[in-house]
Structure 1
Amino acid sequence: MYHHLDGKVFQETSKNAAQFLMLCSLRRALRRTDQFKNNARGIIVCLVDKEWIWHAKSAAMLLMTGGRDRSYYDDFRRPVHVIGESSRRSAGKGVEDFTVFRPDHQVIYLATSLDSVKHSLQLAADVIVDVKAPTARHVVAARKVLGVEDINNPLAAAIAQLPAEIVVGLTARRSLNGLDLATLTKPVPAPDRSPKLADLPGYGPARAWVGAIKQDVADWREDKLPWSDVDRGVLLVGPPGTGKTLFATALANELGFDLVPTSVGAWQGANKGYLGDMLAAMSASFADATSRRGAVLLVDELDAIGDRTTMRGDHAFYEGNVIGRFLDLTTHALEQPGTIIVGATNYGHLIDNAILRSGRLEKHVHLDLPEDEERAEILAYHLNRSLSVAELREVTDKLRLATPADLEKLARAAKRAARIRQGVVSLQDVEVSLPAKIPLPETVVHRICVHEIGHALMTMASGVADVISIRVESHMIEGEPVQDGGRVHYKMRDAALPIDKDLLARIRIMLGGTAAEEVVFGNRSIGAGGYEGSDLDQATRLAYRLVGSYGLGKWLRYQVGADRIDGSFHPAPDLRVEVDGILAREYRATKELLTKEKTRLMRLAAELVVDRQLLIDKI
């Protein structure tokens, strides 16, 4: 190490306030070590606050080289390394992963926390020191060498307590006359940690888990619980707009952790998108989270990471490396105290099973569309509770397909309407902000009622439910390609181990709507198909699971996992023929039963046309 800098180097250093301040801090931290006093070779690990680390690197290079420009033919000769961070200029270039060696020279490793330093490097280090932020004495000294106006110790002490960028700026400022010491010493308000999950409506399936992890984190902070006993990995699965990102934000706030948001798409788009660029960007996100000792790492679009069981062709090498690196980073990150990983996806079945196993993203939370009461609560929340849940039910009970994102959009529109008329938000503001609705012709409403009664009668005939409620719409939303004309609600008695008879009954329930239309009108509409999740889509997928996964078809065989039967599934020709046969057979059986029940079918449909809702029970 260079204890003294020559005149030219010192003069250059004196012009850089940040470098000079950290040079003072480094010398203060290292002055009692053999490496500093006796120039002994060895490994030095310096723990530096995150906001000072790049200034510390510059100062450490100066301390180790004396300001002499040198080139190093390999990493082993470089005297200064930074662990777990990427500079702004090299964002996406990655995180250095060091192999521990015994150097024949001095080497400094800079890290923001001991958790980010590999255990092998901790053991090999000759000394591990904490490098504190610059002190008041350092600020005074820096202003002297900069040749600017002297300041007193109380003012210097106040400056030293501020964030790094402010310390550097005030240290280099020529005059501090008129600077209000009271303003500098005023306590910095704590960051706003809202919203917390406890403040948000909805998220019913996740609340018990969040409550448990909140208590575990509190116990961990008090050293009552090792971090290994805390649930640290969770996957959020749900359609777009169900609040997955908001959940991760609220979870971080609930725990008092930082949120580190990223996505697989952001990694793929890093730099030029080559494999090395993506792996580097991925590593940088994980390093950012693990360096904070209290962070929720949100990885959105997780299904885009890939699945090794479906990899084919030229992209297999790329995807295999991406998944392998993600698994390594996830395992390491979850071992670091204070790091929680939240994955978010619309398609949980497209994610590699190794990512979802116990020990990684082991907790799976399914976020569905909100129920009646939840919709009103969500809208009330976004309206700042200016209207009660009971009042808003008049509106939200008609929005059965609305996502939380849709309700937030509606609240913004209602608040804008209130601002325009210069009043407080009223129910009328909410109603005028609803999407335009077009009344359905009575002939269409009648067909919808027949369709829904067909589902209900087949449900009753299957014996899976005792009470069924039905509701139909009188209007359609203008411009929406997929709409919910009606819906049948019932609580199904699920068999613990369903047999083929149970699964075939479910297929008949799904086909009941279109079969009822043919029985009553002599023809069918497009209402049973046309989109994912439709009656026909569900019936077809269940038939494929029955014969291609469960082994309950003509042949005793397994072709694919039940959760893999989706839009990317390519069935064998004979499997397709067998499924076509099952659907045709069950449709005939459904039509036969509804033909026998035609009088009842038409009577109940007529009641539903009049009342728009109906309750059918076993009695």
Structure 2
Amino acid sequence: MAAAFGEAMNGAVRRQLKGRSGLAVIVLVPGPSWIRPVRDLFLERFGAQWQTITADSIKTLQQKSDQNREVASNLTHGQPVVGFAVERDGLPSSLTVAADLTIRVHPPRGATIRRAIRMFTGCWAPASIDENIAVGLEFDDLVAAFRTDSSPAEIIVRIRKACAAVSGSPSTERLPRLEDAIEYGAARTWGLALARDFADYREGRIEWQDIDRGAVLHSEPGLGKSLFARILAKACGVPLVAFSVADLFASSPGYLDSVIKASRAMFQRASAVAPCILFLDEIDALPNRATMSPRGADWWTPVVTDFLLSLDNAVAGTRAGIVVCAATNNINGVDAALLRPGRLERAIEITRPNHAGAVNIIRYHLNGDLANADLTDVGHLLDGCTGAEIMMAVRGARRIARHAKRNLELDDLVRAITPDEEIAPAALNRICTHEAGHAVASVVVSSGDLKRCIIGRTLTESAGRTLIANEMNGDLMTRDTVERRVVVLFAGRTAERILIGDASVGAGGYDDSDLAQATQLVAALHASAGLGDTLTYMVSLRDALTAVRTDAELRSRVEQHLRVLQTRAENLVRQHREEILAVVARLRTRRQLSGEEIRQLLKRELSHEYSTSSHN
């Protein structure tokens, strides 16, 4: 405290504090935990005759009114008054208006820590201490690092550990470069622009008001939103201050005033180390006022309103402040007021990584292993998996190699992703037939880019799956595009029925099944895309299945359309029976075939059929 306080004042300020009566002084501190220690040190240095006011002691409008009268009276009678707060508006207006002197105690940087260590231990601290070593730490966090008989090195280690714990990022954590993190898509694009803005701000080319105020990242769980915040802070070269909004309620007694205080303290901690990235996880834990019950609104409205005001204060103004990066798994649960310009401004969806993104994540987690290996096929196996699932696959591969007491090999990754599995012959034949139907149909009708057929359990799938990248070659979806995709979806169950004799339940049963996807696509043609028999817009693509269940007329139109496409799938399977059977035979043996292998197999079969028919 003495080190930080000493940096805030020069000799002229000290003489002024000791030489005048009726002086009005404001002392601004980095965070709430600094208020009382700074007050105690101030009184120790400059005498007990001062009337002291602390922002945390003013809780009601009546108390603020009483403080205003007392400050005015004491100044009139020549008694000096000093107020301690994080922000000026936390103090009585009679003091802020009349203030003769404002002293700002800045958050401790590397030089402050070096001086404090010298004062505490009598030894010099290393000159190479990072200036941001104490970023995000409260006063008590720092005090806990200074222990009797500790060396400067031990104190520094404790401070670094505390800082890592507060930010949620271990000090030794290896983070990818934002430039290389292609799997983040639109979030990466926004982050790179923000990093350039921070660089321009530091060089004086732009003002702070020209920098984005924030964004909400939304996705399903496991796609690395928290990791992105750490990557972003590193790219921008600023501290990361991380909180979970849910913790505002879990870490306080739950009373209205305590929740509001916890919310304000969160923003105050970020303000103390600005410029910084404030990461707010689980932002949907803040209730959405549009969906509140009247009873809930009575309690929550003050909390949400105060949160929005604190957010406005944090991101507004020209002084270097805070960029807020929020995250949620439920973007529909976020209050619309949070997303308006000047607050969080935009919602950015993080989607599952494509093939290139999957390969990039694999490379990162391999951390230099298999540096010369071709990961193309492995990337196809993990195409569409979450980053968490890919990390699990690499960990499983390392376990296989470790148990075998050898270095990691490419086959270890394949085995971790698609472990060996015993499948009964009849079930194996049916699964292979189903997936071969999808694969051959995709090539024949030119729907998407066939990547791979996989038989057996993978990280996220059971039985089998056919990976098809539904790329549009720069164009938008048309009725023909949708119909060809539905034919491919139907071709799996159709192949079972024609080549085996009956179809299994595997094509239905879930909202992401073949039948569900086909129904949703065709329903959207009729109910939302204007590509069916009517131009009327009724529902979104997302709600198309619900509309089919509840609207008998729509259900009838969709059923008729689906039966036409089912007939097309039947004709395709009969016409390409031999090609499908050839793929089935290869899948039963190999369990996996790449898209290119399947295309080459079809070419050979078609060539053989042509030469046979010509000979006949």
TM-score, with length taken from structure 2: 0.69
Letter in 2 for 1:448: E
Cα pair distance change 1:157/1:125, threshold 3 Å: farther
Distance 2:311 2:45 in 1: 36
1:139-150 matched pairs, under 5 angstroms: none
**Matches of 1:345 and 1:454 in 2, distance apart?**
38
Per the TM alignment, residue 385 of structure 1 is displaced from its structure 2 partner at its CA by 0.8
Determine the C-alpha separation between the residues in 1 that align with 2:279 and 2:93: 26
1:225 corresponds to: 206
What is the CA-CA distance between 1:124 and the residue it aligns to? 6.4
Distance apart, 1:516 and its partner CA: 3.3
The reply on whether 1:81 has 2:81 as its aligned counterpart is: no
Answering whether residue 112 of structure 2 is matched by residue 128 of structure 1, we say no
Counterpart CA distance in 2 for 1:534 and 1:571 is 18
Amino acid at match of 1:404: G
Measure the CA separation in 1 of the matches of 2:31 and 2:249: 30
Deviations along 1:560-597, whole A, 9 cap, x unmatched? 7x487499xx8798x54344334323222222333444
Provide the residue aligned with 1:488 in structure 2. 468
Q: In the TM superposition, what is the alpha-carbon distance from 1:298 to its structure 2 partner? A: 1.9
2:360 matched to 1:377? yes
Do the aligned partners of 1:549 and 1:558 also contact (CA within 8 Å) in 2?
A: yes
Distance in 1 separating the partners of 2:199 and 2:91: 25
Matching residue of 2:383: 400
* Aligned counterpart in structure 1 of residue 41 of structure 2, from 37, 59, 63: 59
1:382-531 equivalent positions in 2, closer than 5 A: 382-388=365-371, 390-418=373-401, 423-427=406-410, 429-431=412-414, 433-434=416-417, 436-438=419-421, 440=423, 441-451=428-438, 453=440, 468-469=449-450, 471-477=452-458, 485-492=465-472, 505=483, 508=486, 512-513=490-491, 516=494, 520=498, 524-531=503-510
Q: 2:252–2:258: 8 Å Cα contact kept in structure 1? A: yes
Unaligned runs of 5+ in 1: 1-17, 69-76, 84-92, 144-150
**Matched AA of 1:577:** A
2:561 maps to 1:586: yes
* Residue 338 of structure 2 is aligned to residue 355 of structure 1: yes
Change (3 A) 1:554 1:374: closer
Give the Cα–Cα distance (whole angstroms) in 2 for the partners of residues 512 and 429 of structure 1.
34
| Contact residue 22 and residue 59 of structure 1 kept, 8 A | no
Q: Does the aligned pair in 2 maintain the 1:438–1:477 contact within 8 Å?
A: no
Aligned counterpart, 2:193? 212
Matches within 5 A, 1:236-385: 236-273=217-254, 275-312=256-293, 314-318=295-299, 320=301, 323-335=304-316, 337-385=320-368
5 Å-filtered alignment, 1:534-549, equals 534-538=513-517
Structure 2 counterpart SS, 1:377: helix
Give the paired residue count: 550
C-alpha contact (below 8 Å) 2:27/2:102 kept by paired residues: yes
Q: Distance in 2 between matches of 1:555 and 1:269?
A: 52
Three-state SS of the structure 2 residue aligned to 1:405 is helix
**For the residues of structure 2 that align with 1:443 and 1:360, how far apart are their CA atoms?**
54
Shift of 1:216: 0.8
1:79 shift after superposition: 1.1
1:86-105 residue pairs with structure 2 within 5 A?
A: 103-104=71-72, 105=74
Name the CA shift for 1:432/1:447 in 2 (closer, same or farther; >3 Å).
Answer: closer
Q: Are the structure 2 counterparts of residues 323 and 434 from structure 1 closer, same or farther at C-alpha, using a change threshold of 3 Å?
A: same
CA RMSD of aligned residues (A): 5.4
TM superposition shift of 1:539: 5.1
Tell me the equivalent position of 2:21: 39
**Contact map agreement 1:418 1:426 (CA 8 A) in 2:** yes
For residues 581 and 119 of structure 1, the distance between their equivalents in structure 2, rounded to whole angstroms, comes to 71
Match of 1:72 in 2: none
Q: Is the aligned partner of 1:606 residue 2:588? A: no
Residues 417 and 458 of structure 2 are in contact (CA less than 8 Å); yes or no, is this contact kept in structure 1?
no
Asked if structure 2 preserves the Cα contact closer than 8 Å seen for 1:238 and 1:367, the reply is yes
Corresponding residue for residue 577 of structure 1:
552
- The Cα of 1:507 is off from its aligned counterpart by 8.6
Corresponding letter in the other structure for 2:490: G
Any conservation in 1 of the 2:218–2:328 contact (CA below 8 Å)? Answer: yes
Contact 2:222 2:386 in 1 (8 A): yes
Measured at CA, do residues 443 and 493 of structure 1 come closer, stay the same or move farther in structure 2, by a change above 3 Å?
same
Q: What SS is found at the alignment partner of 2:280?
A: strand
Partner Cα separation in structure 2 for residue 135 and residue 261 of structure 1: 24
**CA spacing shift, 1:484–1:246, aligned 2, 3 Å:** farther
Question: Contact 1:454–1:516 (CA<8 Å) still a contact in 2?
Answer: no
What SS does the aligned partner of 2:421 have?
Answer: strand
Per-residue deviation, 1:226: 1.2
Deviates more, 1:577-586 or 1:515-524: 515-524
- In 2, Cα distance between equivalents of 1:78 and 1:564: 60
Equivalent AA in structure 2 for residue 220 of structure 1: Y
Closer, same or farther: CA 511–435 of 1 in aligned 2, 3 Å: closer
Q: Judging changes above 3 Å, is the alpha-carbon distance between structure 1 residues 542 and 272 closer, same or farther for their aligned structure 2 residues?
A: farther
Equivalent-residue separation in structure 1 for 2:200 and 2:22 (angstroms): 43
* Letter of the 1:516 counterpart: T
Distance 1:57 1:333 in 2: 25
Alignment-mate amino acid for residue 609 of structure 1: V
CA distance 1:155–1:515, change in 2 (3 Å): closer
Where 2:273 maps in the other structure, the secondary structure is: coil
| Contact 1:455 1:512 (8 Å CA) reproduced | no
Q: Deviation digits for residues 458-501 of structure 1, max 9, x if unmatched?
A: x65xxxx6x642532122248x56676113223226766x88x5
- Looking at structure 2, the residues matched to 364 and 267 of structure 1 have their Cα atoms a distance apart, in angstroms, of 23
Query: Which whole-Å CA distance do the structure 2 matches of 1:596 and 1:228 have between them?
Result: 63
Checking the alignment, whether the CA contact within 8 Å between 2:365 and 2:394 is kept in structure 1 is yes
1:387 Cα deviation after fit:
0.9
1:405: Cα distance to partner?
Answer: 1.4
| Cα distance in 2 between the residues matched to 1:38 and 1:389 | 75
- C-alpha separation in 1, matches of 2:118 and 2:221: 56
Which AA in structure 1 matches 2:198? V
Shift of 1:220: 0.9
- The match for 1:7 is none
Asked whether the 8 Å contact 2:435–2:464 carries over to 1, the reply is no
Q: Residues 589, 214 of structure 1: CA spacing in aligned structure 2 closer, same or farther, 3 A cutoff?
A: same
Tell me how far 1:217 sits from its aligned partner. Answer: 0.2
C-alpha distance in structure 1 between counterparts of 2:575 and 2:372, whole Å: 38
| Secondary structure, counterpart of 1:365 in structure 2 | strand
Residue 324 of structure 2 aligns to a residue whose secondary structure is strand
Equivalent residue letter for 1:128 = T
Question: CA separation of 1:401/1:506 partners in 2, compared to 1, >3 Å: closer, same or farther?
Answer: same
**Is the contact made by 2:520 and 2:544 (CA closer than 8 Å) also made in structure 1?**
yes
- AA partner of residue 48 (structure 2): G
**What amino acid does structure 1 have at the position aligned with 2:102?**
I
Query: Which residue of structure 1 aligns with residue 590 of structure 2?
Result: none
Shift of 1:325: 4.2
Distance 1:448 1:580 in 2: 28
Q: CA deviation digits over 1:89-122, x for unaligned, max 9?
A: xxxx9xxx989967324241333x8999999997
Query: CA–CA distance in 2 between the matches of 1:454 and 1:141?
Result: 75
Q: What is the alpha-carbon distance in structure 2 between the residues aligned to residue 453 and residue 530 of structure 1?
A: 24
Q: What's the CA shift for 1:218?
A: 1.0
Cα distance in 1 for partners of 2:452, 2:41 equals 71
The code of the aligned residue for 1:586 comes to H
The one-letter code sitting in structure 2 at the alignment partner of 1:242 is: L
- Retained in 1: the 8 A contact 2:398–2:412? yes
